[in-house]
Amino acid sequence: MTDGSNEASMSFEERKRRAHKLVKEDNYVGAFAEFCQLYLANPKDVEIIKICSFLLDRIIEGNYDFEPQTAEQFIFRGISKFYKKEYEASINDFDKALSINSKLDYALKCRAFSLTSLKKYSLAIKELEKAIQIKPTGEYFDDLAENYSRIGDIKSALIYHEKAVANSPDEARLWHNYATQLGECGQIEKAISMFDRAIELFPLYEDALHDRQYYSNLLTKNKNDR
């Protein structure tokens, strides 16, 4: 890895090229360290997720005496354990990441995900509230809404769905999730308008198109039955 000054001067794509070079050199541990940092910078990059998973598997298969050294590495190993449904083990890794850097909002979000999978919704809510204090993104408010919905607090769920779209108005998925919650609550006309917003942002959003049609048909049926 390069020093911090060089790191700061490199673009995201330059850092990706450097990490790919390490893979070609069979330096899997070094490449994993690089890609974990790239993952934390852009958690929605599907390519990075696949490469990190590949590298972690190769490191383990190669019988490397591997133990994460950075918060980013602990986060990704925790994510790998999460996808293997090793939820308690994943929480341990997220805890280790947070012990290195307590301000890692994404580690808190991941910890909340594992707690949700364990049906520990109240604990997940507390972790998400901590993450939001650090970085109030729509994604975290959306996760918070989901957990409130799971414990039956629909009023709070709707409040946090509203905050999710307010904080990240360009994310179609958040509008879809808000619309779905509204539809389940019987607020059909408002739900349809939220689906419209999701479709406006992503015209090929199949779930939103399907769900909008469902609620539109339901609205028509309800009016005809009156």
Query: Is 82:112 a contact under the CB 8 Å cutoff?
Result: no
- Which domains does the chain carry? 136-226 (1.25.40.10)
Strands (E), 67-226: none
Q: Give the single-character DSSP code of 11.
A: -
Say what the pLDDT of residue 3 is: 44
- Output the pTM of the full model: 0.78
Say what the pLDDT of residue 48 is: 84
Say what the pLDDT of residue 1 is: 42
Please tell me the number of Cα atoms within 13 Å of 123 on its side-chain side. 12
Buried b (16+ CB within 10 A) or exposed e, 156-175: bbbebbebbbebbeebbbbb
Q: Cα separation of 51 and 76, whole Å?
A: 11
Angle of helix 71-83 relative to helix 46-61, nearest 10 degrees, comes to 90
What is the block-wise mean pLDDT of the chain (226 residues), using blocks of 10 residues?
53 87 86 79 77 80 71 84 88 95 93 96 97 95 97 97 96 95 96 96 93 94 83
Find all residues with CB under 8 Å of 182, minimum gap 6, and list them.
158, 161, 188, 190, 191, 194
Say what the pLDDT of residue 65 is: 62
Helix ranges (H only) for 62-104 are 71-83, 87-100
